[in-house]
């Protein structure tokens, strides 16, 4: 089991951005940024910020443990990890997260209700997405809702911060922000992973949008890929998907702005830049496919 964990850890580290890239705070996952923003927004002085530093450190570690717990299970489900013994390691991260959060919230706290609901929401949604992606005729809107639910585990760090700072009423806004970001990010991932997912006989959201109402009951996967490519090249569907992602990012930014979290502006400049680069790359491939190299 220990060997499986270190092999898994090595594969994760390969995907990390090198320190030489000078990765900015704005490019960190939203679920890392949110507890930081909440702490900075609700701490009234530098002295209070310093006092709450350990709380923030612990919350981020607890949230990261939950990420690893879910990530390991998902990788086993998707076949990325061959040995199921890694699931026992995943459990250790779950126990560590519970230990960390219990330092700040007793078991009568409403935090644990959010905690259980979020974990259950994520684990159930993972299986729901897996089922929906097995069909080219799934309702795309159902997939988007399921994508948001998969990310429910990432509410937990922000819930902890809101409760700790006495701002529970703000959590509904933060949840909406998380859902919009999760959906927008997953659409972009689906866009990049269409071919890989299709090889695994998985019809992600983008594939379902591009194939909807145009497939037979029994579909040849090679034909499906051709149809997807044709729709990306000769229809506005690709551009419409990018436009939807941009709208969701902007809605998310507006939601957090209402809470007075100013740092969100820098992050969404980063998101806009990433989205613009992806869109330019898509249109270049589209032009080359239609007209050859120019």
pTM reported for the whole predicted model: 0.82
User: Residue 19: is its pLDDT beyond 50?
Assistant: no
Listed range (15-19, 40-44, 142-146) with the worst mean pLDDT: 15-19
**Strand ranges inside 204-278, DSSP E:** none
| CB crowding 122-140: b at 16 or more within 10 Å, else e | bbebbebbeebbeebebeb
Residue 69's pLDDT is 93
Residue 17's pLDDT is 33
The pair of structure tokens assigned to 43 is 């701490």
Per the CB < 8 A criterion, the answer to whether 161 and 136 are in contact is no
- Residues 34-57: pLDDT tens digits? 888 888 877 767 777 777 889 999
- Residues 50-83: pLDDT tens digits? 778 899 999 999 999 999 999 988 888 777 777 7
The full set of domains in the chain, from first to last, is: 29-291 (1.10.600.10)
Residue 156's pLDDT is 96
Per the CB < 8 A criterion, the answer to whether 144 and 183 are in contact is yes
More confident residue, 266 or 215: 266
Per the CB < 8 A criterion, the answer to whether 182 and 147 are in contact is yes
């Amino acid at each position: 089991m220990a060997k499986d964990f270190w092999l898994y850890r090595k594969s994760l580290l390969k995907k990390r951005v090198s320190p030489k890239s000078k990765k900015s705070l704005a490019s960190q996952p939203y679920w890392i940024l949110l507890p930081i923003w909440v702490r900075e927004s609700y701490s009234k002085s530098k002295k209070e910020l310093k006092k709450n530093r350990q709380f923030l450190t612990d919350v981020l570690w607890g949230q990261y443990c939950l990420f690893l717990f879910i990530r390991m299970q998902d990788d086993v489900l998707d076949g990325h990890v061959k040995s199921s013994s890694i699931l026992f390691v995943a459990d250790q991260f779950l126990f560590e997260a519970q230990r960390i959060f219990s330092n700040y919230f007793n078991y009568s706290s409403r935090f644990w209700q959010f905690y259980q609901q979020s974990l259950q929401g994520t684990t159930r949604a993972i299986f729901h997405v897996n089922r929906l992606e097995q069909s080219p005729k799934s309702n795309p809107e159902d997939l988007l809702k399921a994508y948001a639910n998969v990310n429910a585990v990432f509410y937990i760090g922000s819930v902890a911060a809101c409760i700790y700072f006495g701002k529970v009423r703000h959590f509904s806004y933060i949840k909406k922000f998380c859902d919009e970001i999760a959906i927008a990010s997953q659409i972009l991932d689906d866009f990049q992973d269409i071919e890989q997912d299709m090889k695994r006989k998985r019809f992600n959201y983008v594939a379902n949008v591009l194939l909807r109402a145009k497939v037979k009951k029994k579909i040849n996967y090679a034909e499906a890929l051709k149809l997807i490519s044709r729709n990306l090249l000769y229809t506005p569907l690709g551009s419409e998907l990018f436009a939807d992602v941009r709208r969701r990012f902007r809605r998310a930014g507006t939601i957090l702005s209402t809470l007075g979290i100013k740092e969100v502006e820098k992050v969404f400049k980063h998101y806009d830049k990433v989205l613009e680069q992806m869109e330019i790359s898509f249109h270049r491939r589209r032009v080359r496919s239609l007209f050859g190299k120019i």
